[in-house]
Structure 1
Amino acid sequence: MRGYKVHYVPGWDCHGLPIELKALSEVRGGENLSPMEIRQRAKAFAERAIEKQKSAFIRWGVMADWANCYLTFDPKYEANQLRVFSKMHDKGLIYRDYKPVFWSPSTKTALAEAELEYNEQHVSRSVYVKFPLLKSPPKLASVIDGSSPANVLVWTTQPWTVPANQAVCYMPDSAYSIVKCATTGQHFILAADRVESTAAVLDTQFEVISTCKGADLADGFCAHPTIPGRVSPLLPANHVAMTKGTGLVHTAPAHGMEDYGIASHHQLPTDCLVDESGCFTEAAGPELKNKYVLEEGNEAVIKMLQAAGSLLKEEKYVHSYPYDWRSKKPMIIRASKQWFVNTADVKATAQDVLKKVKVIPTSAVNRMLEMLDRRTFWCISRQRCWGVPIPAFYRKSTGECLMNSETIADVIKIVEQQGTDAWWALPTEQLLSKESVAKAGVHEVSDYVKGQDILDIWFDSGTSWAHVLEGAEQRADIYLEGKDQLGGWFQSSLLTSVAARKKAPYKTLVVHGFTLGEKGEKMSKSIGNVVDPEVVINGGEDHTKDPPYGADVLRWWVAESNVFTEVLIGPVVLSAARDDINKLRNTLRFMLGNLEGFNPETDSIPPAEMYIVDQYMLHLLHEYGSKVTEAYKQYDYSKVVRLLQAFCSRNLSNFYFSVIKDRLYCEEAKDPKRRSCQTVLAEALDVVVRSFAPILPHLAEEVFQYIPYKKDAEGVFRTGWINASSAWKKPGIEEAIEGACAMRDSFLGSISGKNALEYEVIIVIEPGLLFELMEALQAEETSSVSQLNEIMMASQTTLLSELPKETPSDANITKGTFLINLEGGDICEQCSYKVIARPIAKAKCPRCRRYTAESSSTPCPRCLQVLAAGKGST
């Protein structure tokens, strides 16, 4: 509407675990399907969902080229994605490593942090465990004399990780105490700040024997609590928390990010004893083998600790714990071989370019910068088959990886023609050329097998810029999504774009909040408070319970909400939105009805010849158009709605329509006075409809179909934006009308709800600016047809510069002042006025119903004149 072509290409993320799980749930024995069968079912499921969603978007009035959408399983899209992957690999930003990652046992794959949700009510079986001191730290040898055994005391919420323990960590700068247990006489080492709370939990008392610095624990060694002969060194670390536990942290490198860092630094083993299903492997020993770590595995480890005499206490612990966002089952941290993007190398550039992006609301940019700051790597491999394969080949004999620009180019050529199904359908010999293998060394193609990992779906969606955006610049004006995408799509798009070409893929980010239930509660299928847009639009099975509101009510609700925070939806909110639209429809209906028989081309009145109140309305219309345009530029749709409602109810319905009704209904049809307000109505209708068209497209098109003089079939969206002429802008005119309105308010207030037409008004103003302004609205002393009388809404108005000598006893006198402020404050005058209201002595005109007739059976002089012209109506 603003005269620009909008290149909005709708698209769907089609790969990933949610779709794969849905497709598998539709078939019995899904776990036994081959990768190709899973992919075919997942694709068919995605295609069905796309068609359903596409028809919903069209019904909502979303305008796009629906025949040409992008789908992430399109071969060309997949090929473009692999080209970005190849560029990043060439720059050394993609690597394979063995390290702990978030692992979902329920879906048997690694997940990125953005794919987790945290269950605040997760219950863990926490344990207090003692690690017997084998070798005292040299600095504490004199304190720990060896007469009674000393132990290091640790606390963990994940007992199943104890078999993987390789060390116990302390905070070097914190204070630690050696205590004696009043119950058992044993000696324990723990943080000084945690002595009292730990003794309370263990239902005992600790006598502090000595206190030392954490650094004094250096070079001490403990015995592993369940594995005879295993030694766990005491090591310094900065991740040790003092707010809970004992201030000493059990360290299992295969099951913790910080733990792994400590192990790497000190060359400790990082073996993982847990398989892809979350069960202990054979290496964990016969007591634990095949047991699921979060259930029977936990139980078995606790029993082993008990049997070894290492368990001091077990208790339930409620805390926030990561869950797989799709299966809603708990995650574990598990070390495995995965592919990563080295985000540490692109983070600084990503942050720099992000600072140049316009982010709405501005508060969101700091959250995203913080998230980038914390992200040193991005795990991009998934152990599934519904997605784009990581084009890696592995040597059968050694597991050594072969992947370079030549081998990836081979795969891209095939993918562009056949899609990524080819990775599973074709033998390695057809995917890997002899030339690429020869370049890499002397091995035969038959020495290699294809990798089974696919790319994280955030890499899929994060490379959409490479496929969707046209031209060399390839930067979108805007990316729009929810605040959860600050760690998801917004971030993966930024990282891939910066990694491949050192620039952001977007110029502006618009970040919206989430939808909550009417009372501010989260939507949940289990609570049953999820609002389905389809039910909102078309109604539910029982229309008395779920009425059909139509698409525009849904759109209005979005627009009037402050979408940058959480928004509420429910029957009360929706029915209020419907009422708002009905009020707007009534305003539009009034304008449409009164434009019958009017043709702007031949009947319009130039602004200079209009009534001053009509010119004033054009002035307000110009101001409204400017404010609405600015609000749209800022994506502030709730401000657009507020401006629209205020203009339609306050300026049009309550004021202008009530003032001009007499002119519209009682003047001769073609009278310039009537044409004057019709000209304003035509302009107001056009401006108002265009102003809400982006929000209420269906209503806007409907109105355009009913405008009697609209000849073009192009409708509202192809005929431009608000066209408010700058000639309408007349700041000085406000004083005249607003001064008259102040007096009208005094008059109406003084007659308290009675019919204004039963009164005549005498306005007394001392000579000066205000009097001159009112004189422009009424040249003669007394009139029933003047512009001033029209605004006063009385049957007759008299304008005087001094009080009449005789004021009738039944008159109602009101005093007031009005401040005139012209030319930016250069002319400023406080003017006082008096408004006298008194019942009028004349009869009610049977035609215009004003008290201006000589007798109730004869029309008033104005109506007689109109009737004499032969074109009036009674």
Structure 2
Amino acid sequence: MLLCRTSAVSQSIARWGSTARRRGAVLHPALSFNYRSCQSVSSTEGKTQPVDAGSSQGQYRDSVLLPCTDFPMKLTGQKLLDRELEIQRMCGFAELYSWQRERKAKKEFCLHDGPPYANGDPHVGHALNKILKDIRNRFEMLRGRQVHYVPGWDCHGMPIELKALGELGPSSLSALQIRQKARQFAERAIARQKAAFQRWGVMADWDKCYYTFDGAYEAAQLKVFQEMHSKGLIYQDYKPVFWSPSSRTALAEAELEYNPEHVSRAIYTTFPLDTLPAKLASEAEDMKGVSVLVWTTQPWTIPANQAVCYMPNAQYSVLKRADSGQLLLVATERAAGLAALLGTELESKGTFTGSELEGGICRHPTIPGKEVPLLPANHVTMGKGTGLVHTAPAHGMEDFSVASHFKLSVECIVDEEGRFTELAGPELANLRAMDEGTDKVICMLKESGALVREEPCVHSYPYDWRTKKPVIIRPSKQWFINTASLKDKAKEVLQKVRVMPESARGGLLSMLDRRTYWCISRQRSWGVPIPVFYHKDTGEALINKHTVSHISTLFKEKGSDCWWELPLESLLPPEVLKKSKAGPVEDYVRGEDVLDIWFDSGASWAAVLEEPEPRADMYVEGKDQIGGWFQSSLLTSVAVRNKAPYKSLVVHGFAVSEKGEKMSKSLGNVVDPQVVINGGTDPTTPAYGADALRWWVAESNVFSEVQIGPTALRSARDSINKLRNTLKFLLGNLQGFDPRTHAVDPKEMQYLDQYMLHLLRGYSIKVTDAYSEFDAGRAIRVLQAFINRDLSSFYFSIIKDRLYCEPEGSLGRRSCQTVLEEVLDGLTRSIAPILPHLAEEVYLHAPGHDEGETLFRSGWVKSSSVWRRPGLEEAVEGACAIRDSFLSSIPGKNAAQYDLTVAIEPGLLFELMESLQEEPTSTCSQLTELMMSARTTLTSSLPRDLPADTLLASGSFLINLEGGVIREDSAFSIAAVPTSAARCPRCRRHTSDTPDCLCPRCQSVLSGAA
């Protein structure tokens, strides 16, 4: 036969009857009866109907091997919740991580957990992140790798401190008392979040997590700090920083939220030009009275103005207002827009390049006698405003750069609460700069005649991410990391990091570009203290490797509370002072600032990852960490080791409502994961269980915004129930089958069964690739396609007669059961990373396992390359092409009621079909089983004397072997004739000689059973 003759031939083909294989719409009539009382056949695999015990069919009821299993088709409500918790206990979910850490493995997979913030209850964002990580970890563990995954929590910072203090109300507490309350608050939040993560089935050793308030963690963090300080990357300076008046502390860029709907009071105001630039003075006699026009969205900074900046290469014009004759100096390209804005014509009186403005001096509009120079600057843009920029060095980052270059004064005019100080002048002192202070400044500009126009401006403005209130820029003495010196190296190492999705790489690079320095000091009590001492008289900082190393050792032993608990003599002992060449201890005081929590978490690679090379295979976090943990981890690692702490980054989106809206209590669209699992008081919020939550995560496109709501959750539940139905069908048909003793060697199987193993191998490769590419959604699509197309619509519809009506121990039935067991095992293992509870539940019911054995301790999907036999694919798929033509010729009719004649000219296709049916005509051949007909005749040409009611059809099948070396497009014709045979009362196939009499096959089965 061809299967033997082509054993060395490639089985690739160019085209096959895919429609036929997928159709399977006309089921065998024997499949619609329910013979066993324990039977509960799934709706997707064939519903059952009761049978009258007195009928001729009913008398054979007990002889038919229908599916039987106590695996439930559906679990709902409390039964579902109880079952999931029972599975967790029975299958050792709590011990699984420790078990896999102790086993021998050739490779390790390290996914470093980004620490969630310990300041609230678990939410769907946590669920999205933790379940995504767990899916990958469970996959890697199943495929034999030793997983390193240590969950952690970010425990310090102002939000926790404020919430802890908020519970007490107004009070005056010491730093240690504040820290104690904050720690207690964080620990309670951690306990709630940890319990939720465990309930979701997240695999970890929950007794060995990391916390940023642990002494050992803080010591490792200080070691990173010390190494960066010794390299000159950490320094103290007085410069503008983002400052939150609402929380009275400096903020880093990563601690800001930009409100795109913020409304500022933008103004156009004039600075009279008292000293004309030399070029203007020599070329224009009528330039007296010219004023420089500036635009700003921060009127409160006008009193701090020290200069007006222009772009050296741009063109500038002096324009005369038609309505008032006022002369205004503005950028030439802004003239038309300003004319429309002011509602008047502007006549040009002269045009100059920016460089010709050098030497000009303006008069400050609100401070009598104060002179303001015109200075060149590269940060001036022409997109908005006038092309001339008001410059207040104390209250703008770029303004400060100008001041540093031209040695301008940097005077801060607002205090820590955002109120004007005395330096702003007596009229403004103590007013809130962004509120009544702004009103007063605008009033002063009006009084001086400098205000040209005021208008509301809606724009993106930075807010404190904790208090949700606007921030300001003000200078203060802080500790900084010089990120400018790290950026180039960070960009270089980032190019070697795999980023998913790749589109997120641009965001990572642009965020690095925006960060010229990183303010790491905070004026709070709850955090890791910056290990610095200050000289009482000079204010000079005492910090070096000796002092930091000593403090690090103390933190490891006692925790960072010792910074406040121990006397200064213990923090600065004589040997440390001697090595530091410092004076007596009484000359110093300890610093009061703590480290930015982004430095806390950014040093986690040093505290958590294992030596000798603390580097994770993967970091997985939301897109907000592009400027947060991803960046702080990268910068600290590059600073210390010149390498990234991760090999790949996965950047997922946020969880949003089904309408795509951000979740908020005011909108009433918040989805609580605990309610998703356990159900709520509202009937519209049933208990879905943990696996439904996990399915929602896996099925979503996590690289965009991830929608969740009733529709998504119902869909997840329904998908799982459909999957349960398929698994139930498989389990039911494996009753009495033990793969250890009953399994049939693939070489002895029927070709259809061998072909199914061939498809199963292809499925296993596809689903493995999907998980490897961090695409659980694709894994689900591959799973559903395999079930719907290859199993339910094809294989299951064909093999039921063999399963139900063949002798229990026959080779054909055992062959089929062997495949079903392999399919069940493959499906169960492939869904396990996503649905661990369901997978273990199925494994408890599946045959061939020792008591106490669990799926997650037994490995990944098993498949064999021997399942891909040359010629097998062509034989079955060639038959499928014929089957497609046959089923298309009898639309809506029962295939089992027809005798089929297949005519193929001698050649490869004919030989392939002969391998499925050796005799010319048969009611029980493999070809007949595939066709699902009453009888199949294989011939080289159709008979001439066909009945009048014959249905004819034709088609072709292209055989392409050895890469096209063997290529044959074979035509075939078919004739379908209503069968004259009677229906067998046992199997209900039309293969009996007379009505109500058993067919020969069933007679043989029953006589053998007797």
TM range (shorter): over 0.9
2: distance between equivalents of 1:487 and 1:187? 45
Q: How does 1:188-587 map to 2 (within 5 A)?
A: 188-441=328-581, 443-542=583-682, 544-587=683-726
User: Is it true that 1:611 corresponds to 2:611 in the alignment?
Assistant: no
Q: 8 Å contact 2:740–2:848 — kept in the other structure? A: no
Deviates more, 1:436-445 or 1:499-508: 436-445
Match of 1:27 among 168, 171, 174: 168
Aligned-partner residue type, residue 227 of structure 1: I
Give a deviation string over 1:734-784, Cα, whole Å, max 9, x none. Answer: 111111112212222222122222222111112111111111111111111
Other-structure match for 1:769 = 908
Give a deviation string over 1:153-188, Cα, whole Å, max 9, x none. Answer: 111100000010000000111111111222222211
1: distance between equivalents of 2:881 and 2:412? 82
Aligned-partner residue type, residue 161 of structure 1: T
User: Is it true that 1:53 corresponds to 2:220 in the alignment?
Assistant: no
- Partner of 1:193, secondary structure, is helix
Instruction: Note closer, same or farther for the CA distance 1:442–1:643 as it changes in structure 2 (3 Å cut).
Output: closer
- The number of equivalent residue pairs is 869
2: distance between equivalents of 1:301 and 1:291? 10
User: Is it true that 1:715 corresponds to 2:851 in the alignment?
Assistant: no
Deviation at 1:823, TM superposition (A): 2.5
2: distance between equivalents of 1:323 and 1:856? 85
* TM-score (normalised: structure 2): 0.84
- Partner of 1:608, secondary structure, is helix
- Partner of 2:793, secondary structure, is helix
- Partner of 2:676, secondary structure, is helix
2: distance between equivalents of 1:313 and 1:157? 12
2: distance between equivalents of 1:672 and 1:21? 73
Deviates more, 1:556-565 or 1:464-473: 556-565
Aligned-partner residue type, residue 291 of structure 1: L
- Partner of 1:26, secondary structure, is helix
Match of 1:677 among 805, 816, 821: 816
Give a deviation string over 1:580-612, Cα, whole Å, max 9, x none. Answer: 211111111111001110011111111111000
Deviation at 1:854, TM superposition (A): 2.1
Other-structure match for 1:785 = 924
Query: Relative contact order, CA 8 A, sep 6+: which one is greater?
Result: 2
Aligned-partner residue type, residue 790 of structure 1: E
Deviation at 1:398, TM superposition (A): 2.1
- Partner of 1:129, secondary structure, is strand
Instruction: Note closer, same or farther for the CA distance 1:231–1:111 as it changes in structure 2 (3 Å cut).
Output: same
Q: How does 1:642-661 map to 2 (within 5 A)?
A: 642-661=781-800
Instruction: Note closer, same or farther for the CA distance 1:63–1:184 as it changes in structure 2 (3 Å cut).
Output: same
2: distance between equivalents of 1:651 and 1:200? 69
Aligned-partner residue type, residue 839 of structure 2: A
Q: 8 Å contact 2:546–2:580 — kept in the other structure? A: no
Aligned-partner residue type, residue 262 of structure 1: V
Deviation at 1:437, TM superposition (A): 3.1
Q: 8 Å contact 1:465–1:475 — kept in the other structure? A: yes
Other-structure match for 1:735 = 874
Match of 1:839 among 951, 975, 978: 978
Instruction: Note closer, same or farther for the CA distance 1:25–1:681 as it changes in structure 2 (3 Å cut).
Output: same
Q: How does 1:754-833 map to 2 (within 5 A)?
A: 754-833=893-972
Deviation at 1:434, TM superposition (A): 2.9
2: distance between equivalents of 1:866 and 1:461? 71
Aligned-partner residue type, residue 749 of structure 2: M
Deviation at 1:798, TM superposition (A): 1.4
Q: 8 Å contact 1:537–1:548 — kept in the other structure? A: yes
Deviation at 1:673, TM superposition (A): 0.5
Give a deviation string over 1:87-140, Cα, whole Å, max 9, x none. Answer: 111111100111111111111111111221111111101111111112111110
Deviation at 1:708, TM superposition (A): 3.2
Deviates more, 1:463-472 or 1:656-665: 463-472
Q: 8 Å contact 1:144–1:150 — kept in the other structure? A: no
Deviates more, 1:603-612 or 1:199-208: 199-208
User: Is it true that 1:861 corresponds to 2:996 in the alignment?
Assistant: no
Deviation at 1:199, TM superposition (A): 2.7
Deviation at 1:674, TM superposition (A): 0.2
Deviates more, 1:379-388 or 1:433-442: 433-442
1: distance between equivalents of 2:490 and 2:805? 68
2: distance between equivalents of 1:365 and 1:319? 26
Deviation at 1:562, TM superposition (A): 2.2
- Partner of 1:746, secondary structure, is helix
Q: Which runs of 5+ in 2 are unaligned?
A: 1-141
Aligned-partner residue type, residue 723 of structure 2: L
User: Is it true that 1:638 corresponds to 2:768 in the alignment?
Assistant: no
- Partner of 1:717, secondary structure, is helix
Deviates more, 1:816-825 or 1:697-706: 816-825
Deviation at 1:213, TM superposition (A): 0.6
1: distance between equivalents of 2:759 and 2:487? 50
Other-structure match for 1:622 = 761
Displaced runs of 4 or more, over 6 A: none
Q: 8 Å contact 1:407–1:433 — kept in the other structure? A: no
2: distance between equivalents of 1:849 and 1:441? 100
Deviation at 1:361, TM superposition (A): 2.1
1: distance between equivalents of 2:534 and 2:871? 81
* Identity rate, percent: 62
Q: 8 Å contact 1:560–1:638 — kept in the other structure? A: yes
1: distance between equivalents of 2:361 and 2:479? 35
Deviates more, 1:661-670 or 1:745-754: 745-754
1: distance between equivalents of 2:978 and 2:541? 100
Deviation at 1:528, TM superposition (A): 2.1
Instruction: Note closer, same or farther for the CA distance 1:442–1:793 as it changes in structure 2 (3 Å cut).
Output: closer
RMSD over aligned CA atoms reads: 1.5
Match of 1:18 among 159, 165, 168: 159
Give a deviation string over 1:641-684, Cα, whole Å, max 9, x none. Answer: 11111111111111111110000000000001100000001111
1: distance between equivalents of 2:529 and 2:1009? 84
